[in-house]
Amino acid sequence: MEKKESDSTLVFGKKNYIIMLVGLVFIAVGYILMSGGGSEDPNVFNPEIFSFRRIRLAPLLIIFGFVIQVVAIFTPNKSSK
């Protein structure tokens, strides 16, 4: 039996996987920036949990990472033509 050319091609190309990896890095960095800020003593309030890094920057990086993932999925694969 002959093997069709379309059977051996992947859904995503190398470019797609690189873009996905960049998106995953943005998401991971966002979660890392969001972590921490707790207090050793539960009776003491630590205002550091409401810092710019945890409230604004980290969620924006995570959202941007998910947008990059969508772009990676919808970027056409040149080898699938």
Token pair of 14 as six digits: 């190398």
Indicate whether this model's pTM tops 0.85.
no
Torsion from C-alpha of 27, 33, 34, 37, nearest 10 degrees: 160
3-22 pLDDT, tens digit each? 555 556 778 899 999 999 99
Q: What is the largest CA-CA distance in the chain?
A: 73
Q: Give per-residue burial for 19-43: e unless 16+ CB within 10 Å, then b.
A: bbeebeebbeebeebbeeeeeeeee
Give the pLDDT confidence of 19-78 residue by residue, as tens digits: 999 999 999 999 999 997 777 788 888 888 889 999 999 999 999 999 999 999 999 887
